[in-house]
Structure 1
Amino acid sequence: MNSQQLHATPATGKLLVVDDEPNILSSLKRCLVKTPFEVFMANSAQEGLAIMQEHKIQVVLSDFRMPQMSGAEFLEQIKQHHPDVISMVLSGFADFDSAIGLLNSGAAHKFLRKPWNNQQLIEEVDGAFVEYHARIMNRRVLEGEHNPEYYAFEQAVRDQFEMQQEFCLVSLKIKDYDYLEQHAGPGIFTGLLTEIRGLVSSELPQGSKTFAFDSGKIFIIIPDFESEEVIRRRLSAINHKLNEPNTQRKGCVKINCVMGYALAPTDGGDPSSLMENLRCAFSVDNSDRERLCRFDSALRDLQQRQLKIKNSINGALRDNQFFLHFQPKVHLPDQQIDSAEILIRWQHNELGWIPPNEFINLSELDGQIEQIGEWLIDQSVKKIAELHHFTPDLKRVAINISSRQLANHSVVEQFEHLLDKYALPPSLIELEITESCLIQDFEQTLAILWELKELGVSIAMDDFGTGYSSFAYLAKLPIDVLKLDKVLVDGIEGCKEIQSMIGGLIAMCHELGIDVVAEGVELEGQVALLKQLNCDYIQGYYFSKALPKPEFEKLLLQQPFMH
């Protein structure tokens, strides 16, 4: 066997890399040699399967096109015989369509493209290990439900129902438990459990019971309490003490806990429904949700909706359920529409109209934003080419780019390919980015933005005014357009300070050669003030909402545009 193994020392996980090209394996070896992963290299799918028989591989990174056994066949074998393993495809852009079936079936977790960015690739591999540990933890929970401790817990819940008295059931989850256990040692849970039981004893009514499981999950039964307000206050105190740094905590100083609770019989009239509703309190994706959450029926409805949306995205891309609208940008000096922003829309077969923020936020959590972003770029450039043939008056059309897309050089290749395919002047394309795109890796993002700029496209900074450090970026980034967020525009009437600030900002942008667009303009008074302050463009409902392409084309014929 010609496989190579990197790292002789213990690592955070075992990674298998498979590619039939020796040069690619060598490059990946150089990229991964300094990572904490234990890395195995194989030059064929058959060799990779043999390695997996000998070692407990957790993450696989595989080429797609390989002789004898393809990447698709290889990953399907892994899914069948090693269902917990997280597999990713690393291949050229042309293989993406062929790999969609693997992504839809669950055999592949993600599609990563060649050539890769080293730092981005390491982050994706690290994320795959996090996903693996989460998958193992979920399985441990399910298996743990059949152990003696869980039987004791179930009996205690049944006993409470038989008493026909209201009680509170609490679920406490230690996030990233597997990671903590691996780095702080196998005894970490024992110490945390002692600490938690001490807090339960001091903060909760006498008779409260704790039930602990190896997965880092703890259930608490509170048989008697004064009111929900009191019990919530006490649970919040426990949660706060657990989450704050503690130098006395053996093995680790900081942990991340979340709590959910349900009241019986209000939130469930039997053990099964109470437990199901309690789980629901944890499963809803909401970055703003509290660390302490009580179940309510709206959470169940939201959970079901979010699951349906996330599970429908791949099918929606395949079945062309997404479509594009165009919101005009009006040039203030002559009231001419010479540019627009492309906005994605989704009419779900069952759920109907889904707000873009909702499905985009969910797709970012699952990583599906990359697939949506690729579809958006491909379809947008195609439509821009059609508009260019329709009228020569259109100067620029904006496309929104996500932070994930800007983290990979492949976005440059995609635009190069599409500009050549449609013989489109790059000056017609404007790429809108937000400040959040710059936070994770400013230098990497800056390099990719300059590559895009060198293609001849324009760069716009969107949502300006909602962050704290946007001013610092203006002189550093290759920005052609700055978009004032609606929150600034909303306050412009009747506030001299905001007027002065916007006026100064516009003047500064003009000195830097940057055009300014005001978003979310809805009132005539806002238009008058922005025109007085020499704002270049207006975008918002005062002139037009986002329109389907045929209706947008009709507006282009009504030049100069008048409200």
Structure 2
Amino acid sequence: TWRCYVSVQSKSSASLIKQFAACQYCYSLIQLDRFKFVNDSLGPSFGDEFLKQLAQRITASVIRNAMVCRQGGDEFIILVPDSDTENAAHMARDLLEIISQPVQVNGHQLTLTASIGIAQFPQDGKSFELLLQAADAAVFRAKQQGRKTFQFFTRQMQEQAQQTLQIENELRSAIEQKQLLLHYQPQVDANTGALIGLEALIRWQHPERGMVPPGQFIPLAEESGLIVEIGDWVLDEAARQISQWQAAGFKVVPVAVNLSVEQFRTQTLFETVRDVLRRYKLDPALLELELTEGIAMDNTANTVQLLQQLHSLGVTLSIDDFGTGYSSLNYLKRFPLHKLKIDQSFVRDIGHNTEDEAIVVAIIVMAKSLGFTTIAEGVETIQQIEFLRQQQCEQLQGYYFSKPMAADEVMNLITSNKGVFKLKD
């Protein structure tokens, strides 16, 4: 079968370790980025044909005495004898370029990128298992650096990899042990200063590490697949909290919940949202679902159908971090969206960067023409507020008004200032 195509001449990577034991060589681990999406959306037979063509392309591109093996799934291994760091880096750059070229399969044109981790024998490991661990740690770092890049293994990576594995294991039990919690950041009407919404933001109260920042565990949750379970918990907890506030007699505002790409791929998101609304007898208008531009472009046909189903429930749909991804006007027209959230990277330099100001103005004008509400996140100064109000941005969110806070603090805030924030010095 084709699965043996790239390993006929090399037998197995493990046996090559013995074969090359007398020399120095580089062990490169190639992981395709987002290959799971190909299998999920187009089917495994399509994925197999894609891998076959890619294997042929990789094999044809490496030097004659290099050995190429399929490690399994979306991974390839390349062993290059008598190779130094400079040669390995040169080969990695060439491979990244070659892999990113379009592949034609059954009438579909597909372009994927890859991440490469490089380990060196014997300094990084004297066995197949140790070299694989080292290269895997380097691949993980490459993915953290934004994918479509390569990294050499270092001892620091090994220590970080061990710490990462420990945190991942602890994260698996965090939900069951009730270590996860939600904080809420106010969203404010730009004209009146009235509280008009809250964004639910996850936090991890670790018994030993203290409050673990989302940036440390959300990427791990995404890599490990835990993000779906965590995302479903966030959705349920936010709905439960809204219901609890209502039962206590507070005037409740809509709560926005972030959705992950993996939640969209589960095929059960609609049922999950519907069941949460039913469980807590919640008015759908009180729940807002935020999706990223990456989700919007991941699988357009399926996304349109799913968003229409969610829209039929009555929940609000918004695009988070708008302007940082694909920014395709086509999907904005096709999707039943209500709101665009202007990314804080553009808001941050208002008053200092005319290009960012121009982007913000363009987003607001475009949103208005399409009938969308705009909300700016990351607002921290009165200068930013004045600019955004002048451009008729309807809603604001950021540390100028409040940091994310626990549920009881939200209610204290509302009762103390009656839900109105200061918009001027």
Structure 1, unaligned runs of 5 or more: 1-9, 13-132, 137-142, 161-166, 202-208, 248-253
User: 2-side partners of 1:257 and 1:495: how far apart?
Assistant: 34
Counterpart residue type for residue 368 of structure 1: L
Write the distance in 1 (CA, Å) between the matches of 2:372 and 2:66: 61
Q: Deviations over 1:330-379 (max 9, x none)?
A: 22222122311001111334554433244333333333222112111111
Q: Identical aligned pairs, as a percentage?
A: 28
Which aligned pairs between 1:208-357 and structure 2 lie closer than 5 A? 215=71, 217-222=77-82, 228=85, 230-236=86-92, 239=95, 243=99, 260-262=117-119, 267=124, 277-278=134-135, 280-282=137-139, 286=143, 288-289=146-147, 291-349=149-207, 351-357=209-215
Paired AA for residue 217 in structure 1: I
Q: Are 2:169 and 1:169 equivalent residues in the alignment?
A: no
Higher relative contact order (CA 8 A, sep 6+): 2
Distance 1:365 1:179, change over 3 A: farther
Preserved CA contact (<8 Å) 2:58 2:95: no
Deviates more, 1:395-404 or 1:472-481: 472-481
Aligned residue type for 1:543: F
Aligned equivalent of 2:217, options 352, 356, 359: 359
- Asked if 1:154 corresponds to 2:18, the answer is yes
Over 3 Å counting, the alpha-carbon distance change for 1:257 and 1:371 in structure 2 is closer
Distance in 1, matches of 2:51 and 2:333, equals 48
Please, what is the CA RMSD of the aligned residues? 4.3
- CA distance 1:411–1:267, shift in 2 (3 Å): closer
Whether 1:422 aligns to 2:284 is no
Relative to structure 1, the CA distance from residue 342 to residue 267 in structure 2 (aligned partners, 3 Å threshold; closer, same or farther) is same
CA shift at 1:484, angstroms? 0.9
TM-score, structure 2 as length reference: 0.75
Query: What secondary structure does 2:80 align onto?
Result: strand
Q: For the pair shown, which has the larger CA radius of gyration, 1 or 2?
A: 1
Query: CA 1:392–1:371 in structure 2 vs 1: closer, same or farther (change >3 Å)?
Result: same
Structure 2 gaps, min length 5? 5-10, 36-43, 104-110
Residue 107 of structure 2 corresponds to none
**Counterparts of 1:469 and 1:181 in 2: how far apart (Å)?**
28
CA distance in 2, matches of 1:330, 1:246: 45
Q: Distance in 1 between matches of 2:337 and 2:214?
A: 25
- What is the DSSP-based 3-state SS (H/G/I as helix, E as strand, rest coil) of the residue aligned with 1:320? coil
C-alpha distance in 2 between matches for 1:272 and 1:339? 51
1:375 to 208, 223, 233: 233
Q: Does the CA contact (< 8 Å) of 1:328 and 1:341 recur in 2?
A: yes
Q: Given the superposition, is the C-alpha separation of residues 524 and 234 from structure 1 closer, same or farther in structure 2, using an over 3 Å criterion?
A: same
Partner Cα distance (2:260, 2:97) in 1: 37
Normalising by structure 1, what TM-score?
A: 0.59
* Residues 1:521 and 2:385 aligned together: no
> Could you tell me which of 341, 353, 370 is aligned with 1:483?
341
Which letter does structure 1 place at the counterpart of 2:410? F
Counterpart in the other structure of 1:385: 243
User: In structure 1, what is the Cα distance between the partners aligned to 2:309 and 2:263?
Assistant: 13
Q: In the alignment, is the contact (CA less than 8 A) between 2:26 and 2:88 conserved in 1? A: no
TM-fit CA distance, 1:458: 1.6
> Could you say which residue in structure 1 is the equivalent of 2:38?
none
Instruction: Provide closer, same or farther for how the CA distance between residues 538 and 170 of structure 1 changes in structure 2, counting only shifts above 3 A.
Output: same
The answer (yes or no) to whether the contact 2:27–2:121 under 8 Å persists in 1 is: no
Task: Provide closer, same or farther for how the CA distance between residues 174 and 283 of structure 1 changes in structure 2, counting only shifts above 3 A.
Answer: closer
User: Paired residues, what number?
Assistant: 394
**Which residue of the other structure, out of 287, 298, 301, is the alignment partner of 1:443?**
301
- CA offset at residue 326 of structure 1? 0.2
1:57-136 → structure 2 map (5 Å cutoff): none
The reply to whether residue 547 of structure 1 matches residue 405 of structure 2 is yes
> Greater CA deviation, 535-544 or 277-286?
277-286
Q: Is the 8 A contact 1:242 1:257 kept in 2?
A: no
**CA distances 1:46-71 after superposition (whole Å, capped 9, x unpaired):** xxxxxxxxxxxxxxxxxxxxxxxxxx
Given that 2:346 and 2:356 are in contact with CA atoms closer than 8 Å, whether structure 1 keeps it comes out as yes
Q: CA deviation at 1:213?
A: 5.9
